[in-house]
Structure 1
């Protein structure tokens, strides 16, 4: 969830950038833990709303389900990739909703990793099903063994990483030959070009690359309608939620940033 403007490059101190985001997401988790209804908020992504196709989710989410658009984004990301009985590492797992969905609905064995200790503590308290575990860790130095995953997922998190190359090198270290990297986020066009070129250099073949910006904007428009009865508007909260008029929404609407789903596969078997 891009609460700040996504990076266009790696300016500034990497340590300071990571510290800023850890503090932000620790604060969000603490706030949600104490807010009415916040303890059931498992998803932090902007969501996906169908515009009549082409859609790629194999499972639908019934209308009216809390967090339906956020759940749909996870299913759209996975698309046709089979997760049943496969080892999945969800880097930037947040409050664990996507990891729980992939384990519970798609049969994956999931390890969630996040920089925020508060988020990981919440995940460990809340998501206790068999086939799930959670670890605190840096996306550029994940505390897991090389070649330990069949699939790596990264949902709306990489915009916070100071070094995209370091992150993608970690993905390469962690995934087994023939394994998948499923990536969705809001990034500037130059960052997406960096993602593609780096993946190819690391031995990944890009199997699909899809612009879902309009689907994400439709989800944010729906959220704005849902919140239209709120007594007051908070610009910081509006930006965190990506609501119309916020910096995040404007970056997407103007095409300065693109929200994409990129699926790639590591060569070998």
Structure 2
């Protein structure tokens, strides 16, 4: 099979894309099983900050760039005392941060990778925090379950972003908030997401292009010896000396963001109860009447 045919299949066959994503993240979880490797997403750096003065070897500073991204994405939403869902939790560091720093009543974290979820269950045991395997385009929860849904740098792997957004709306309570961030292919892709939110009845509370902040954070990680040393410590012993996956991903992401792709974040709110039902709710209502 030629590369071009493979690309076409990857784009048009959702089940194939899902299987590839699961395989990739399962392999990454196996290669980097160390508890210290908590994040696989990009970070966020203040454009005015001097990160050369930061000692990233200090325990309180190791994850500051990644934690800053989470804080920036959820900054316009209230999590304290709320029922929160994180979709695409990855290695669980973001879920731990949200639970310990922002104090939701409960936080349910899901990911497609069963290996990643097993690691999360092993590494994080906090009251109110739970992990389970779940498909973002078919979330295993009842309608109107959560006050806040968080999704950071994961949706670009999904078979359909629009289907995911529909699922988010379904599981959000009326008035609930969706905190979302990801890399978009272009300004046109960003505009399409805004239109999809509008069509689904979401109100955009905040929208921000944070490409420059993410690029700065990636460069800080790439250029700081402490992080190279940390990635080597975190790599599984049986993989020592092989490809340095985190640094390869950083270089690839920097290339993307310097070539026209953008890193955007949104906080949107589901309308109150007077809105029309989303597709999943319509289907269930029809089935109940049959």
> TM-score if structure 2 supplies the norm length?
0.79
Matched residue, 2:89: 93
More helix by share: 2
Larger radius of gyration: 2
Q: Residue 165 of structure 2 is aligned with which of 132, 153, 168?
A: 168
Unaligned regions of 5+ residues in structure 2, if any? 1-6, 233-240, 274-290
Q: How big is the shift at 1:223?
A: 1.1
Q: Residue 41 of structure 1 is aligned with which of 33, 37, 54?
A: 37
Is residue 14 of structure 1 aligned with residue 14 of structure 2? yes
Q: How big is the shift at 1:63?
A: 5.7
Matched residue, 1:24: 24
Matched residue, 2:280: none
Matched residue, 2:271: 267
- 4+ long deviations beyond 3 Å: 227-239
Give the alignment of 1:1-269 within 5 angstroms: 11-33=11-33, 38-52=34-48, 64=56, 65-108=61-104, 109-189=106-186, 190-227=188-225, 234=243, 237-240=246-249, 242-243=250-251, 246=252, 248-254=253-259, 256-268=260-272
> TM-score if structure 1 supplies the norm length?
0.84
CA distance in 1, matches of 2:39, 2:244: 21
Unaligned regions of 5+ residues in structure 1, if any? 1-6, 54-61
Decide whether aligned partners of structure 1 residues 72 and 63 sit closer, same or farther in structure 2, where only a CA change above 3 A counts: farther
Three-state SS of the structure 2 residue aligned to 1:40 is: coil
Three-state SS of the structure 1 residue aligned to 2:11 is: coil
Decide whether aligned partners of structure 1 residues 217 and 99 sit closer, same or farther in structure 2, where only a CA change above 3 A counts: same
CA distance in 1, matches of 2:171, 2:269: 13
Q: How big is the shift at 1:233?
A: 9.7
CA distance in 1, matches of 2:158, 2:73: 20
Matched residue, 2:4: none
Three-state SS of the structure 1 residue aligned to 2:177 is: strand
CA distance in 2, matches of 1:79, 1:68: 16
Task: Work out whether residues 84 and 108 of structure 2, in 8 Å CA contact, stay in contact via their aligned partners in 1.
Answer: yes
Decide whether aligned partners of structure 1 residues 144 and 63 sit closer, same or farther in structure 2, where only a CA change above 3 A counts: farther
